[in-house]
Amino acid sequence: MIKPHGADTLKPLFVYDTEEHHALLSEAEKLPSLLLNSAAAANAVMLGAGYFTPLDGFMNLADALSVSEKLHTTSGLFWPVPIVNLVKDVSGIGDARRIALRDPNVEGHPVLAIMDIDAIEEVTDGQLESMSVHIFGTTDKEHPGVATFINLGNKLLSGAIQVLNFSYFQSDFPDTFRTAVEIRNEMVERGWQKVVAFQTRNPMHRAHEELCRMAMEDLGTDGILIHMLLGKLKPGDIPAKVRDDSIRKMVELYFPANTVMITGYGFDMLYAGPREAVLHALFRQNCGCTHFIVGRDHAGVGDYYGAFDAQTIFDEKVPEGALDIEIYRADHTAYSKKLNKVVMMKDAPDHSKDDFVLLSGTKVREMLGQGIAPPPEFSRPEVAKILMDYYQSTQQ
């Protein structure tokens, strides 16, 4: 199986030893506490789950700036997005160097992790703007990722962490949330060696379904990891529970047994386009995947990125050998009326737009809200039913 990034074995920061876990929870109750924001909490969950191997905690300012500008830490580790703990106020922890990190997303704010603080550094607004430009390609506060990032705070806490729970992800999505450790173990149990991953924050329509099938066939993989984001999204995006239900129904009805793993990970969407695509590839390598599908406007939002910027970054910014996982490059995919099947548009040069079944996201949402199913060439009827029920429930 493919090696994790920058290490021979995964480095999950979750404390699995029962005695040590209990001892740390007891210790945490006596430590000064810091209530995290959702972005830092998501980083802690990803660190705990092994997705961010080989990191041992939150980056310091020098590493955060280096990663933003050069895509590597000061020690030379390739990394595309800073993994940081930025906060507004540290007055509650005084001069403590060992603190409890508390979860902002769970009632009662339970302890999420214990942190050994190496440094507390002041980040200037100029440095936040500089990082935003490199990470998101813009400082426009209308960009949801930028709006979140520049408002996290100007105090950066760096240091190693020991993770004690996985926030709300295990309780809310017990059948779907999986750590990188669990995904690797299941691949071994299934006997999978060659695996392609598909990232989604949306329900999957026919084009997505067929894209997965194309990738498996073209690459000759043992199976596909459908890996959905379970964390925070921008307003208007479909909740994870609805996406989960619709994807499970599609796989149940339209994929052969033992060809798909449906899983999810606990992270908040960055909407960072190309940079986020590279991060997605990196932590799919940590999951054990050998290939990763990067499609049109991957991890994008609005008109901030070119249609294929998330593919060209792997040619222009990712050094040779920095990642072992390989990229499967996908074009816009749609149902061809001429060929009576879903194809990549680049593979149908004799087609005009009218030869494809194309519907805008706005049009699809309008139809679903009115109880009108999109054509079966666009969406499986069983999937459309789940989405119609959701959209109609939001209008009541």
CA angle 173, 176, 179 (to 5 degrees): 105
DSSP at 79? -
- Distance from C-alpha of 348 to C-alpha of 352, rounded to nearest angstrom: 9
- Annotated active-site residue in 97, 190, 201, 248: 201
Cis bond upstream, residue 349 (ω within 30): no
Cβ atoms of 204 and 299 within 8 Å: the answer is: no
Closest CA to 196 of 229, 228, 223: 223
- Distance from C-alpha of 322 to C-alpha of 29, rounded to nearest angstrom: 41
State residue 97 phi and psi, 5-degree precision: -115, 0
- Annotated active-site residue in 97, 98, 154, 202: 202
Residue 202 annotated among the catalytic residues of the structure: yes
Helices (H), 52-103: 61-70
The structure tokens listed for 388 are 């119609």
- Distance from C-alpha of 222 to C-alpha of 1, rounded to nearest angstrom: 12
- Distance from C-alpha of 376 to C-alpha of 380, rounded to nearest angstrom: 5
Active site residues: 201-202
